[in-house]
Structure 1
Amino acid sequence: MSRVFSDMDKQIFDKLAPELGGNTTSAGGHNYPFILRPLSHKIAQSAEDFRERIERLSVEELDYLVKLALENKEDIRSLESEDIDTIIELVEQKISLERMKELKQHLGIV
């Protein structure tokens, strides 16, 4: 199932990976199906870099990604484990404890 990036997706991707200059295709020429997976595995240089990038997001943008994840349209499960921890922590800090619990339940994290 391939997802086509919406304008909001592109805006978030550009904020998280400005060095790509709006390019949402992989080195293999395929459109990225997710925002966070290429960020976690290919773009961010470290867990700290990933965190710094995610912290750029507004509450609305972060919640948008959580909403996509809850709809299985964004992939959080296959991120590096430190990056999953970062997402969960920032959802709790920026959005709410309830939203963080909802995400953890969806991801099967106890």
Structure 2
Amino acid sequence: MARILSERDTMILKKAAPECTGLACAGSGGPYRSILPPLANHYAADSADFRERLERLDDDDLRYLTGLILDGSESLGCVPPGYIEVFLTFIADRLGRDAALSILQHYESEDGCVP
């Protein structure tokens, strides 16, 4: 489900990617509709950098992001598989294995890319 990023969404994206100055996808020209796809595809240099950027988020940010994923508001469809693995491991470490498994199940049932 595509959404317009809220003030909190924007704050989380800019916390993870301080160099983010605009909220438009360089590829499509459209506005970002999720947090993780632009973080993975436009700001992180590689999967290690992606993890370092996730480490900037506190547990409250991660719980919020997890909630968005599980309710279908946050798309994971455009996030490269290697980055999904990093994200799932990170969530398991910070929020627990059950949270990571719930996200994995949602990811496996999701289709399409919403930047």
Q: TM-score range, shorter-chain basis?
A: 0.7 to 0.9
RMSD in angstroms over aligned alpha carbons? 1.7
The TM-score, its normalising length taken from structure 1, stands at 0.87
Query: What runs of 5+ residues in structure 2 fail to find an aligned partner?
Result: 110-115
Bigger relative CO (Cα 8 Å, ≥ 6 apart): 2
Q: What residue number does 1:35 align with? A: 35
> 8 Å contact 1:63–1:91 — kept in the other structure?
no
* Residues 107 and 20 (structure 1), Cα distance of their counterparts in 2 relative to 1, 3 Å cut: closer
Counterpart CA distance in 2 for 1:56 and 1:9 is: 14
In 1, Cα distance between equivalents of 2:108 and 2:80: 16
Structure 2 Cα separation of the partners of residues 63 and 95 of structure 1: 8
Match of 1:26 in 2: 25
One-letter code aligned to 1:25 = A
Q: Which residue of 2 aligns with 1:53?
A: 53
Aligned length: 108
Deviations 1:11-50 (A, max 9, x none): 10110111123x2122354210111111111211111111
Structure 1: 4+ residue segments shifted above 3 A: none
Aligned position for 2:85: 85
TM-score (norm 2): 0.83
